[in-house]
Chains A and B, each alone.
Chain A
Amino acid sequence: MDSTKRSLMTRLGALTVGAAIIPVSGANPLTTTIIRNSEAPDRKGQSGKRYAMVVDLRKCVGCQACTVGCSIENQAPIGQFRTTVKQYEVTLDDGSSELQNVKSFTLPRLCNHCENPPCVKVCPVQATFQRDDGIVMVDNERCVACAYCVQACPYDARFINEETLTADKCTFCAHRLEEGLLPACVETCVGGARIIGDIKDPNSHISHLMREHQDDIKVLKPEENTQPHVFYIGMDDALTSKIDGKVAIYDPAGENA
């Protein structure tokens, strides 16, 4: 088997996220002390804010603009990604329609900037930390690439950057947020699906959206008790109840896809 074929096959598989998506309200409250490693003064970020992202899946067109924009903005090595968008086909077969209904489903993924980030606590060198504004980051000067955090993240959001040999992940483009600009993925989102903002500000666009869709906001793997701060609109119930066989039509070729 040639290498292309092998890599394609390993990247194909059943859509497993569906069953793991339940409403935010179903998550357990946090009971443990959270380690943030944020004591140093340069690890505070924008105190007083709490950044989060809403991905309105109804608007995601699966165009991968975010994937490429992020890759360039953050100079990730080619083939390694801080954000990905997988494209699935979902077969809905409730027996009622004459024709089998097949639909496309795209799922942008990135670091969830969890309120209870499992990556932070496992870092043996305290390189990974969470700022006051909720953004989980890596100190590249401390990171020793042990990959504990890569293993600890339930979302496969981290990887060891093969050029810097440090843990790498989405930072919500903190370097841009700090300058009043939008993250690369957000500013180039063709469908307008990605919304970033401060959820502590009741007047922010993201706060409005979350209030408007409060019954339909879901997160990935809430049972992990990580309290993710990337929220999804448009995770249809069909995903959890009627999914038949499905194949990732489309998958970034990177090792962390």
Chain B
Amino acid sequence: MDNKRRQFLKSGLAVGGVGAFAAGYATTTSHAVHGIIDGTAGKKTKHPHHGNSLTPEYKVTENGKLINNPAQRVAPSMCFGCWTLCGLRVRVDNASDEILRISGNPYHPLSNEHQIPFNTPVKDAYIAMAGEAGLAGRSTACARGNGMMEIRKSPYRITQPLKRVGNRGEGKWIPISYEQLLEEVVEGGDLFGEGHVDGLRVIRDVKTPLDPLNPEYGPKANQLLMTNAGNEGRDDLFKRFAFNSYGTRNFGHHGSYCGYSFRAGSGALMNDLNKFAHVKPDLENCEFALYIGMSPAQAGNPFKRQARQLATARTKGNFSYTVVSPALPASSSLAAGDNNNWLPIKPGSDSALVLGMIQWILANDKFNTAFLTQPGPNAMKTAGTAHWCNATHLVISDKDHPRYGYFLRASEVDLGFTGTALSESDPYVIVDAQSGDLSVHTQDQPARLFIDQVVTTKQGDVQVKSSLQHLKESAFAHDLEFYSAQCDIPVATITALAKRFTSHGTKAVVDSHGGNMHSNGFYNAYTILMLNALIGNINLKGGVMAKSGGYPTSGNGPRYDFTKFKNKVKPKGIFLSRSKFPYQKTSEYKRRIAAGESPYPTRSPWYPISAPLLTEHLSAAVDGYPYRAKAWINHMANPMYGVPGLANLLGDKLKDPKQLPLIVSVDAFINETTALSDYIVPDTVTYESWGMVTPWHGVPTKTVTARWPIVNALTEKTADGRSINLENFLIDIAKKMQLGGFGDNAISDSQGNWHGIHNAEDFYLRAAANLAYVANGVPAASSEDMVLSGLERLLPAMQRVLTPEELGKVAFIFARGGRFENATEAYKGEEMKYKWQKPLAIWNEKLGTSRNTMTGEYYSGCPTWHPQKLADGTPLAEKYPTTEWPFTLTNFKSNIHSAVSNLSPRLNSIKGVNPVYIHPTDAAKIGLTTGAMFTITTPTSATKAMALIVDGVKQGTLGFEHGFGHKELGERAHWIGDTQQPVKMKSNDGVNINDIGLIDPTREGKGVLLDWVVGAAARQALPAKISLG
């Protein structure tokens, strides 16, 4: 003990001496006594005052000079803690290559309200985040963004190729060489002593039909299913392999169990059933926001940006908002005062609330006539509106008419048209507002809104109705009391909300998102979003905005053309998920018609308007309808965790290799799905990998996040020294099988010279060159930019792949973490700069003319009330009456955890379990107390959960927070060779609603409960009952 300390001790302990002092504080006694006697207690800190706090990354002096800390670097990267994919700045220790801490990238609009101008030198961007200036200029990372760095060195990380030993799913693996991995996956054989398994080479036959009786299913190569979690920046390379090198039609991702009902419903309104576009509020200028099925600041995409915008909006004085949801979200704020409120609603009944509102709006003429009456672009120009819609277009409404549900065209009523009849150039028919005569939508004057009349066509008299008339009839199909009873919101509240929503002109918005994952989610979302159309707020400042998008990268760009290569194939055939193909064109349909039988119902539903669905791929592959799969390559997707009911339906089946003979996963960790693999290919984590991606939405300016390996990959290396990862695995398979698109001569430059793709940087550096040259290009980076962003480490790769001029420009982009349009470019006058172009669909023709293959009935072409339904149309409430199943379940996203964040100990220390919300009245009925365990049972399964009794949940509803209840991702200790992973990180990981999701009993080909129109997962509004214990 040094003298100084002893002196302090003497004066401090004058009263009672060491003994009395220690006895007074039982809990710390041992530490204190130890410290007093030995002079050292715990582990000595780095600094006497600053303890073990990190050494700052740089210093900014009083006069604004930046002094670098040479022991660290600060590099831009991308977060993958959730699907917002924010731009990051990452502090790295140069000696250890360890990530020290993460915050936001100042250039990135997802981490700022207003990102710093793109041309700002890196040094100035760092200075702008320091001191007083930094308060306005701060660029943030959320809890996940901060915490996810821990996954890189997680003890659960997979760094070497693994092959299962024992049965599938048993959790026992042996490390194998990369060469053995490639050999076995490509060539197949008796790989597990269980009999022959076809390898990728045998399965790839792009000519022979996989099923001669149903040639439309496509070639045998379609028996390879390739899925990824989603586009985290490497989708382009993954799809290039799947579609154009290997030639399988079957690519899927997590979208169908993550908000797809919302996007599909939005796509119906946006007239975009291809990409399912949606809009987001311009929060900077709107006056009233109505959130239904989404909770900003609690979750959503973009999570962080809209949370920050909401925080700003609610403190500036002229903004208010209402959040409609079954469980109280963090979106509401007591501190922000009366400008916000939470409106509790019965799960799955949002469209009843909104149809009630629509009814009031139509009955009281509170809709935007100027917007709705413009039948086309010419009238829009005359009227000076920012957009137009098909409200006035006439729909053939006679159900027996062969063109039922289609829009009446000029050619049918002898009005002028060009080109082919019933083609794009054949105008829609409307009733002119002034004359009341039939006219065409291309006129430059408004049309009548409510039409219900008989029109004489060349084929005789036909009943037609305008789109808005259909909406009106749908909204008035029930009275307000009926809607009120469905959603359990008083009529007065419904009408007050409608009044409020229509009291701000076009500066009100309705926003929705992933909270629509009900079996009626599609119509729910279409209905909710119709409110925006009724007030005509689209493309307007203070209204809703279209996606601004990004810049092209790996396409046909100014430097390299990625789209053409030798031996390129085009995928053919029908998706395993029976989507985006009319059943009426299948051989099956024709056979059934020819046999004189009803073509309905089908064994499992077809989804005429849907994207490929990972909610159906696996059930279909196992059931064999339409066909079976032979191999599955999965990059990170986790449907067994994320699709409600799927683990119950398929967990055991997928353990049987006969059902799906070869499963290869590419992942840095073992999740609930990849645990069922035959092989695991280790992958890089986001800080170690390449990738390019545009924000999902909510950014009004063009943005591309471009990430590069800012730290070394911790995976093992291939024999030629490359890291083992997704890109190299696909490249090497392609090379081994001599497929096009990879290896030598895979990509041509603008001079026609060919270049090879032998590793990830060959691909992504050239994609970055395209990004650096499009739209007038970017300047060259300064050497200071390169040093301060840690980009020097990339120089050897850049020098090898790029020309000197390309290098400078690519460095400019990589030093800033992407390419970003300036925040000042968001608007053009009173309109958004980037506008939605397709007319909004008050009636969606494609939807209204498609049929449900389980019942043979037409879908409704406009928003309509539908209760929760099973696939055959049986209402859930009929099959599972409330007398037996008195509760409904609701699921909400966590503001801390995502489905992949379980591996961060720090996030888990903040929130490690998710007690289920239950209302005090419901809890009292069975004597349930907060903290007690209770059992939640659905018709399919049951789980035990901890109760949290709160007023903030609708009575009769149980609220589940998402991101918990893992059985893998650190919850199970796998054996790798003779080493076991660390056993369980925590004693309880809470519950996952998807574990008690429903299997649909009405389907012949078994599947889980899905949205009956689009096949999106249904995890909301499920029936349940509870019991103590």
Interface-forming stretch among B142-150, B411-419, B420-428, B997-1005?
B142-150
| Residues on B with beta carbons closer than 8 Å to the beta carbon of A19 | none
Chain B minimum-CB-distance residue to A187: B138
Write the chain B residue with the least CB distance to A74: B53
B774 at the binding interface (Cβ < 8 Å):
no
Q: Mark B36-79, 1 if CB is under 8 A from A, else 0.
A: 10000111110111111111111111100000000000000000
State in angstroms the CA–CA spacing of A247 and B920 once bound together: 11
Give Cα A60–Cα B43 distance, bound, in whole angstroms: 35
Task: Choose among B13, B51, B307, B912 the residue that contacts A74 (Cβ–Cβ < 8 A).
Answer: B51
Q: Is the beta-carbon distance between A9 and B931 smaller than 8 angstroms?
A: yes
Q: Does A139 contact B (CB under 8 A)?
A: yes
Is B130 within 8 A of A182, CB to CB?
yes
With known contacts A61-B330, A192-B312, A99–B5 Cβ distance under 8 A: no
From A5, which residue of chain B is reached at the shortest CB distance? B931
Q: Are A175 and B53 in contact (CB under 8 A)?
A: yes
Partner of A250, one of B35, B103, B911: B911
A160 within 8 A of B: yes
Binds A, one of B331-339, B536-544, B683-691, B816-824: B331-339
B493 touches A147 (CB 8 A): no
Assess the B59–A68 pair: CB atoms within 8 A: no
A146-B25, A253-B909 given; A182·B35 CB < 8 A = no
**Is the CB–CB distance between B342 and A182 below 8 Å?**
no
A169 to B673, CA, bound (A): 42
Residues of A within 8 A of B62 (CB): 180
State how many angstroms separate the Cβ of A146 from the closest Cβ of chain B: 5
A-side contacts of B344, CB under 8 Å: 99, 102
Return chain A residues, CB-CB under 8 Å to B141.
65, 69, 188
Answer whether A69 and B101 are a contact pair too, CB < 8 Å, given A78-B905, A145-B31, A174-B49: yes
- The answer to whether residues A249 and B49 also contact, given A68-B143, A187-B129 and a CB cut-off of 8 A, is no
- For A186, what are the chain B residues with a Cβ–Cβ distance below 8 Å? 134-135, 138
Q: Is A64 an interface residue (CB 8 A)?
A: yes
User: In the bound complex, do residue A104 and residue B987 qualify as a contact, i.e. CB atoms below 8 Å apart?
Assistant: no
Which residues does chain A contribute within 8 Å of B860, judged by CB atoms? none
Task: Report if B1015 contacts A (CB, 8 A).
Answer: no
Say which residue of B9, B54, B140, B297 sits within 8 Å of A188 (CB atoms): B140
Residue B210 CB within 8 A of the other chain: no
Q: Which of B356-412 contact A (CB under 8 A)?
A: none
Quick check: A58 and B307 within 8 Å, CB to CB? Answer: no
Residue numbers in B under 8 Å from A253 (CB-CB):
909-912
Q: Which residues of the other chain, A, contact B45 by a CB distance below 8 angstroms? A: 140-141, 164, 166
> A73 within 8 Å of B by Cβ?
yes
Given A58-B311, A247-B950, A236 and B53 touching (CB < 8 A)?
Answer: no
**Chain B residue with the shortest CB-CB distance to A103:** B334
- B896 and A64 contact, CB distance less than 8 A: yes
A116-140 toward B: CB 8 Å interface, digit per residue (1/0)? 0000000111110000000001111
CB–CB B60/A61 < 8 A: no
A83-121 interface code vs B (CB 8 A; 1 in, 0 out):
000010111100000111111111000000000000000
Q: Does B85 contact A (CB under 8 A)?
A: no
- Determine the residue in chain A with the shortest Cβ distance to B28: A147
Chain B positions within 8 Å of A64 at CB level: 142-143, 895-896, 910-911
Contact partner, B9, options A61, A125, A161, A182, Cβ 8 Å: A125
**A103–B337 Cα gap in the complex (Å)?**
10
Encode contact with B along A215-242: 1 for CB under 8 Å, 0 otherwise: 0000000000000000001111011000
Docked complex Cα distance between A215 and B145 (Å):
36
A175, B315: Cβ atoms closer than 8 Å: no
Contacting residues, chain A, for B9 (C-beta < 8 A)? 124-125, 144
Least distance between A193 CB and chain B CB atoms (Å): 7
- Chain A residues with CB below 8 A from B930, complex form: 8-9, 12, 247
Are A249 and B493 in contact, CB atoms less than 8 angstroms apart? Answer: no
Let me know if A204 and B132 touch, CB within 8 A: yes
Residue pair A58, B337 in contact (C-beta under 8 Å): yes
B987, A236: Cβ atoms under 8 Å?
Answer: no
Q: How far is A204 from B133 in the complex, measured between Cα atoms in Å?
A: 10
Chain A CB within 8 A of B906 CB: yes
A73 engages B43 (CB within 8 Å): no
Residues A179 and B59 in contact, CB atoms below 8 Å apart: yes
Residue in B13, B21, B129, B335 whose beta carbon sits within 8 Å of that of A57 in the complex: B335
Q: B130 near A65 (CB under 8 angstroms)?
A: no
Q: For A125, what are the chain B residues with a Cβ–Cβ distance below 8 Å?
A: 5, 8-9, 12
Interface centre among B13, B35, B311 (most CB of A within 10 A): B311
When the two chains form the complex, which single residue of A60, A92, A187 contacts B103, counting CB atoms closer than 8 Å?
Answer: A187
Nearest-Cβ distance from residue B947 to partner chain A, whole angstroms: 10
Contact for A190 among B140, B333, B948, CB less than 8 A = B140
Bound state CA distance, A79 and B55, in angstroms?
A: 22
Minimal beta-carbon separation of B723 from chain A (angstroms):
26
Residue of B nearest to A56 (CB): B315
A239 close to B334 (CB less than 8 A): yes
Residue B726 CB within 8 A of the other chain: no
A57–B62 Cα distance when bound, in Å, is 30
Interface size class of B (residues with CB under 8 A): 35 or more
Given contacts A104-B332, A187-B140, contact A68 B147 (CB under 8 A): yes
How far is A165 from B146 in the complex, measured between Cα atoms in Å? 26
Which B residues are CB-close (under 8 A) to A42? 49
Of the candidates B308, B907, B912, the one whose C-beta lies within 8 Å of that of A68 is: B907
Q: Do B28 and A65 touch across chains, with their CB atoms under 8 A apart?
A: no
Across the interface, do A140 and B51 meet the contact criterion of CB distance under 8 Å?
Answer: yes
Contact: B56 with A176, CB < 8 Å?
yes
Interface code B595-623, partner A: CB below 8 Å = 1, 0 otherwise?
Answer: 00000000000000000000000000000
Q: Give the shortest distance, in Å, between A33 (CB) and chain B (any CB).
A: 17
B744 at the interface (CB under 8 A from A): no
With A and B bound together, what is the CA distance between A133 and B987 in angstroms?
A: 44
Contacts A3-B987, A67-B910 given; does A89 touch B951 at CB 8 Å: yes
B32 at the interface (CB under 8 A from A): yes
Set of chain A residues within 8 Å of B12, measured between Cβ atoms: 123-126
Tell yes or no: B314 within 8 A of A by CB: yes
- A233 CB to nearest chain B CB (Å): 8
Task: Assess whether B702 is interfacial by the CB under 8 Å rule.
Answer: no
List chain A residues, Cβ under 8 A from B335.
57-58, 60, 105-106, 233-236
Contact of A126 with B8 at beta-carbon distance under 8 Å, contacts A61-B307, A164-B45 already known: yes
Contacts A64-B895, A147-B32, A165-B35 given; does A2 touch B988 at CB 8 Å? yes
| B132 proximity list for chain A (CB < 8 A) | 197, 204-205
Report the separation of the CA atoms of residues A138 and B53 in the bound assembly, to the nearest whole angstrom.
13
Query: Which of B48, B340, B915, B932: most chain A CB closer than 10 A?
Result: B48
| B47 touching A175, Cβ below 8 Å | yes
The reply to whether A90 and B56 contact each other, CB–CB distance below 8 Å, is no
- CB 8 Å contact bits of B310-326 with A (1 = contact, 0 = none): 11101100000000000
Q: Which residue of A lies closest to B139 (CB)?
A: A187
Residue contact B336 to A175, C-beta cutoff 8 Å? no
Select from chain A the residue with minimum beta-carbon distance to B41: A165
Complex contacts, A174 vs chain B, CB 8 Å: 49-50
Known A-B contacts A125-B5, A163-B42; A187 and B134 likewise in contact (beta carbons under 8 Å): yes
Among A79, A106, A124, A184, max chain B CB count under 10 A is at A124
CB pair A124–B330 under 8 Å, yes or no, is no
Quick one: given A56-B315, A58-B336, A89-B951, are A182 and B135 in contact (CB under 8 Å)? Answer: yes
- Quick one: CB contact mask for A7-28 with B, threshold 8 Å, 1 for yes? 0110010000000000000000
In angstroms, Cα B915 to Cα A247, docked, is: 12
From known contacts A73-B53, A104-B330, A126-B12, infer whether A184 and B952 are also in contact, taking CB-CB under 8 Å: no
A181 within 8 A of B: yes
Contacts of B915 in A (CB 8 A): 8
Contacting residues, chain A, for B43 (C-beta < 8 A): 163-165
Contact of B60 among A4, A137, A181, A233 (CB under 8 A): A181
What are 7 A-B contacts defined by CB distance under 8 Å? A62-B895, A65-B143, A92-B334, A99-B493, A144-B36, A161-B42, A190-B304
Given contacts A4-B986, A104-B330, 11 further A-B contacts (CB under 8 A): A12-B931, A72-B149, A72-B906, A98-B490, A102-B332, A103-B328, A104-B342, A187-B129, A190-B307, A234-B337, A249-B952
